[in-house]
Each structure stands twice: as structure tokens, then as C-alpha cells.
Structure 1
């Protein structure tokens, strides 16, 4: 079985994915794969061609790129068109290698069109998101808000039939493994 966990920045996707992992699933983290993919020489060349101002002395400045894509949806879409095909290939490769029960953690997972048996959408309020990202990444609220807004807009367009929604706010009761197991294997 392949379970896909998705949601906006700071919703708590990794927390929920780790709980699913504890149900004897192998984990694939798309953010980790994206950090590796963005270092591939051919990907770097494409990014440099598309976003030359995000490079300093031939090195990608991730902060500049993040600021650009958080404020400009066209730039975000352009970056996604460069990196997502490679991310998808890497995930499919890991699925083949790992086999068995797998949980995939990715913000906009449905857009990768992977063979997902059960989606889990993790939701959190904007306040929770801003708090978590400020604490975790030390990023400005404005930048986090822009990313949240972009992701939330896209997520609202999904129409998934095999989806469970979990609200994971700061004040939400912790979700137990037993509850999660029941939701996944209903």
C-alpha cells in the first residue's frame, strides 16, 4: 500500500508521516529528494538559465530562489516544471526499490500523479503554520504566508476521492497510532 501525505507548509505532514511510518511503512520524503535533485548538474543548469539572478559566483543562492518563488507564482511554476519530473522519477525509483508499504510526504503530492492508494491531507490554521515555520526555519512571516497562500490555492483545486483529512493544529488533540491505523485501513 502507498499512502501519500500532503498539505501546506507547516501543516504537520512530517509528524503525520512519521506516525504512519510507525505502522510499518517505509518513508519517502519529497523535500529531501528535492534538495538532492536541485544539486544535479543538469537541473542546476536549467535553474541558472531560468533564474540567473539567484546565483552568486556560479552557486545557487537558495534564499534568493525561495524569496522569488514565494512572491511570484509564475516563477514557482517554472521551477516546478524543471525539478518535479526528476523528483517524480526519483520517488518512483524508491518505490520500486523499497517495495511493500510506503508513505510519501510531499506538500503538493497529487500534482506528481503517483500511484497513491490512500491520500492523507494534513491541515492546520494559518496561525499554526506561521508559528511552526518561524520556530523551525526562522523564516519571515511574509515569506511563509506567501508560500502557504500559493499551496493552499492549489490544494483547494484537488478533487481526491481516496482522501482522509487530519487537522493538526497546535491545540488539536494528538492523533494516536490506533486512530491513524483505523483511518488508513478502514
Structure 2
């Protein structure tokens, strides 16, 4: 009797959080524990390197492709706060990102991986919650998040607050989370919370991996 076929995709652990909460740090911790982390933003960047996609974006938003490359700041300025323009951009990008994420999931399934992490900044806003088997929400107080982003990005506090206001509130994200990771303390505290969440979900980790967040 032949063995049953592998599942179409592994179980999905969603990872999300408000701007400046520390989602990227948690993603590195999960990679260090041997989990495959699929980064939706990274896949979107790959999609926008495709000349055909760039041509479609330029046709919709003239002037944002310069020298064969996407001017991300110019595009962001064009769509920020404009729901119709954002919807037009998403219609170009999102189907291609979903296809890339699915292909990566199928590769993980073929390797025998039981879980993959889907790192999606706007997971709840994009209606992807129902596709996840569990969701980790990384959170921290607003003043701390604003301070982190202004230090690393050059954005003003007002600009960070404007971006935060256009996302689902942290309170609502916490309500919808399977586990909330409080990133207001030190790294050791965050690591302990990550390990506790994985253990509660029964997700095996690779003890041979270096658990330093610099990996991945």
C-alpha cells in the first residue's frame, strides 16, 4: 500500500504586529529555532523586481519606476492614505505574492516540515487570519514603538503615528491573537515567551540551532 501524499501545505503560524513592535526580531528567533519563516514583505520586494510587474506599476502610477527600479518612497507617497490607489497597487502585487508564498509552503511540505511561519505585517487587515492555524502578535507600548521606529528610519514621530493609525489597533490585534508576545522588556524575556508559545502549540524546534536572533 502506497504512502499517503504529503499535505498541500504545512500548518501555518501567522506572525504579525504593529509598527515598531519587534516582529522582525521574533522572526529571527523563530528561524534560529529551525522554523521556516516566509516573509510577505520580502516576497513583495522580489515581485517588484520583475520587469513585467514594474511596467504594470509604472502604467498605473507614472513616474515611480526610475532607471528600471521601483522608487519605493515615491510609490508609498502616492498611495498612502488613498484607498483606491492602494487597492490598485494591491491588485498588482498581492496575487503574485500569494503565489510565491504558496510555492514556498509546498517546498516546505515536500521537505516534511509540519509548520511554517507566515510573517505578514497586515495579516488581520488583509483578512488572512482564517488561513492560519495560530497567530502570534508581537506588541509593545505605543511610545516605545514610536521611539524604535524614529531611531531606525528617520521618520518623525508624527509620521510613525500616522502609519500606526492606519493599521488595526493593537488592542484589536491582541484580542484576535492565539498568543501575544510582549516586547517591552529585554531579549531574554521575549525568547522565553517565544519558546512558551511554541511549546504550547506543540511545534518542535531544532535544538541544534544557535538561538541567537542574529541568525537568519
**TM-score bracket relative to the smaller structure:** 0.7 to 0.9
Provide the C-alpha distance between the structure 1 equivalents of 2:169 and 2:53, rounded to a whole number of angstroms: 27
SS in 1 for 2:135: strand
Deviates more, 1:4-13 or 1:65-74: 65-74
Counterpart CA distance in 2 for 1:68 and 1:143 is 15
User: Post-superposition, which runs of at least 4 consecutive aligned residues in structure 1 deviate over 6 A?
Assistant: none
The corresponding residue for 2:209 is none
Q: Report what 1:182 is aligned to.
A: 199
Question: Partner of 1:54 in structure 2?
Answer: 64
Count of paired positions: 185
> By percentage of residues, which structure has more helix?
1
Per-residue CA deviations over 1:92-135 (Å, capped at 9, x if unaligned) read 11011122121121101242648421111222332222222222
Q: Does 1:17 align with 2:33?
A: no
**Structure 1 unaligned blocks of 5 or more:** none
2:181 corresponds in structure 1 to 166
3-state DSSP of counterpart to 1:66: helix
Scaled by the length of structure 1, the TM-score of the pair is: 0.81
What is the RMSD of the two structures over their aligned residues, measured on CA atoms?
3.0
Verify: 1:102 aligned to 2:116, yes or no.
yes
Superposed displacement of residue 68, structure 1: 2.9
Deviations 1:141-177 (A, max 9, x none): 33332222112259948985x7222232357972214
Gaps of 5+ in 2: 1-10, 204-216
